[in-house]
Amino acid sequence: MTYGVPDDGGDEADVTHRGGLPAAVARKIVDLPALLRARAAARAQGRRLVQCHGCFDIVHPGHIRHLRQARALGDLLLVSITGDTQISKGAGRPLIPEELRAENLAALDCVDLVYIDPDPTALGLLREVRPDVYVKGKEYENNKDPRFRAERDAVEACGGRVVFSSGDVVFSSTALVAALEQSADPYHQRLAQLSRRADLQGPALYSSISAMRDRRIVIVGESIIDSYILCNRPQVASESPILTLRPLEARQYDGGAAIVARHAAALGARPTLITPLPTDDHGRLSQQAREFTARLEQQGVVVRALPVSQPLPEKQRFLVGHQKVMKLDLVEPLVLDVGQRESLHSMAVDAAGDGCDAAILTDFGLGMFTPVSLGRLCRGLRPRVRVLAGDVSGASAGLRGLRDCDLVCPSEEELRGAMQLPEEGLPLVTWRMMEETASRHAIITLGADGLIAFSRLPALATRADDGAYQQRLSSEHVPALSPIPLDPMGCGDSLLTVATLALSAGANLTVAAYLGAVAAAVQVQRLGNTPITPADLRATIARVHAGRLAYLGEAAGERRMKVSA
């Protein structure tokens, strides 16, 4: 396919592409002879050629910024794309055929030339074009993949240089493809793909839910009181332009580690909660702590208190209708002395006993854990539990202190903050976290885009270079299963609890992640934290299944209409 070559004249309104592509765009898409002529002309004129290479299946904002940064490094920007036959990113990829991918790039004002490369790598093209600058994403900076090494050597051997530019790519194109498939409604193609799996059918999922019953689980972490203060419509104060709120009703919910324990109990498990609780002036549990303990024990949670002087942390949220307008944290940092840390460690190990189905460590960044104490607790629990899981919340939480966990469940923001990698692709950031913490599985939550479940492949028994992480991680994207969220607070806690119990009952990671997504879909439709039951999970699974069948029926109807037309 030949579109044309760049020139300085011609009628911009001319159409040279059968789909109505403007001539100014079509001329940018060139074959190899035209590309080499353009390169020779640029060299003769003393113009620097910059080259970028990739798949560019979905051209997202990160790509555009990447290309603009590359264009600023020279006088002419060539973007070479991998041809369809050489892309091996899974079934159905590339999503966009090579001709349309080339047109998308050629339509960008920062791009001067586009070439569809029939080879699996850019090595041959780099040797022929000999760009002055070759720009790759920042994730390649420490890449030791021999294919990229050969590309770099080829550029530098011809006097060019290699530059790494991030482009602030938040998601990989692969993750975005999965997200885009759900853009029309919650029962999209990706969900249909998942539900074809035998272990994600209703009966199999119901069996996994039933298997959570009677699982012994230990939860260690800070308990929090989440207060919702419902207010009337706000007004502007007369003395200054500040918001005036008038409380109408206050509701309190158990949060933090407490709601994780209550979720587990409601699902039929046997949870033990180890948490700091305040004492009075006589060294006994305070009235607040006794009421807290009685409330949880009535729900089936065994509470083991670590006595502290600080009151239970409270986080107040002020709402007008269902909209949160302000949050007030009434939190005193926990400062545990050496004796208290020893007591915490002993209590957790004793609660696990000679063998326990699961343990969850929840760090809400209030000072209960240090990286050292968190790592020691992981080592103490590891031989005593079948599944060890960890989660964090907040910028000061200790994700990197977790060690040898079967599952970690941070949000993308928490993960990037902990690893201090705000710009790299999500799989690379996850890979580095899993390598550092020796974690087996990770579920990274993406808010409205659902979650991605990552597993380290068996070959990772020994450390590998960053350049090979794509081949050493498996991943599954599970879309958000609730179309309109009411209150996202507590979704991560419900997901963590359900996924951990599912793993402890023998489910694989995809099933655990899917059930976790179901739990989050239940929670996000509720105002405030309330325990999730097996009936809640089954009802949501049935709703999603019914919606998927309706979606497939509509799609089949559309196909029939196209055939009849």
Residues 482-534 have pLDDT tens digits of 867 889 899 999 999 999 999 999 999 999 999 999 999 999 999 999 999 99
CB atoms inside a 10 Å sphere around CB 37: 13
Judged by average pLDDT, the poorest of 30-44, 234-248, 422-436, 484-498 is 234-248
Supply φ then ψ for residue 59, to 5 degrees.
-85, 100
Q: Is the pLDDT of residue 457 over 90?
A: no
Predicted pLDDT of residue 472? 75
**Of 92-106, 150-164, 228-242, highest mean pLDDT:** 150-164
Quickly state the pLDDT bin for 333 (edges 50, 70, 90).
Answer: confident
pLDDT for the residue numbered 507? 96
Q: How large is the C-alpha radius of gyration of the chain?
A: 28
Question: Using 50, 70 and 90 to split pLDDT, how confident is the model at 192?
Answer: confident
Q: What mean pLDDT value characterizes the chain? A: 85
Topology of domain 23-169, CATH: Rossmann fold (3.40.50)
Quick one: CA dihedral 363, 320, 447, 164, positive or negative?
negative
* CB half-sphere exposure, 338, CA atoms < 13 A: 0
| pLDDT surpassing 60 at residue 317 | yes
Task: Report how many helices (DSSP H) and strands (DSSP E) the chain contains, helices first.
Answer: 19, 20
Please give the C-alpha separations between residue 233 and each of 239, 251, 319, 486, in angstroms, as whole numbers.
18, 18, 9, 19
pLDDT at 93: 58
> Are the CB atoms for 48 and 160 separated by under 8 Å?
no
Range from 69-78, 113-122, 161-170 carrying the lowest mean pLDDT: 161-170
Band (pLDDT 50/70/90 cuts) for residue 539 is very high
Tokens 């107040």 map to which residue?
316
Question: What pLDDT is attached to residue 175?
Answer: 52
Q: For 255, how many CA atoms within 13 A lie in the half-sphere containing its CB?
A: 24
The residue among 267, 239, 240, 264 whose CA lies nearest residue 254 is 264
**Residues in Cβ contact with 251 at an 8 Å cutoff, skipping those fewer than 6 apart:** 227, 228, 230, 528
Which amino acid makes up residue 225? Answer: I
pLDDT of residue 125: 94
- Judge contact between 238 and 547, C-beta under 8 A: no
The pLDDT tens digits for 111-146 are 999 999 999 889 999 999 999 999 988 777 777 788
**Whether pLDDT at 558 is above 70:** no
How many Cβ atoms are within 10 Å of 469's Cβ, its own excluded? 23
pLDDT at residue 426 tops 90: no
- Distance, in Å, from the CA atom of 457 to the CA atom of 243, rounded to the nearest integer, reads 53
Phi, psi angles (nearest 5°) of residue 69: -65, -40
Question: What predicted TM-score, i.e. pTM, was given to this entire model?
Answer: 0.68
Position 547 scores a pLDDT of 65
pLDDT at residue 559 in the model: 42
β 270-278/302-308 pair status = parallel
pLDDT computed for residue 188 by the predictor: 56
Q: Which of helix, strand or coil describes residue 145?
A: coil
CATH code matching the domain that covers 177-224+261-312+331-556, chosen among 2.40.37.10, 3.40.50.9100, 3.40.50.300, 3.40.1190.20:
3.40.1190.20
Mean pLDDT value of segment 412-424: 89
Q: Report the pLDDT value the prediction gives residue 25, as an integer from 0 to 100.
A: 87
Distance CA 467, CA 422 (A): 19
The mean per-residue pLDDT over the stretch 335-340 comes to 91
Report residue 397's pLDDT band, with 50, 70 and 90 as the boundaries.
low
DSSP secondary structure, 42-104, as one string = HHHTTPPEEEEEE--SS--HHHHHHHHHHHTTSSEEEEEEE-GGG--SSTT--SS-HHHHHHH
Lowest-confidence pick of 61-65, 225-229, 451-455, 523-527: 61-65
pLDDT score of 377:
95
Delimit the CATH 3.40.50.620 region(s) of the chain.
23-169
**Residue environment code for 263-295, b if the CB has 16+ CB neighbours within 10 A, otherwise e:** bbbbbbbbbbbbbbbbeeeeeebbeebeebbee
* Contact criterion met (CB below 8 Å) for 398 and 392: yes
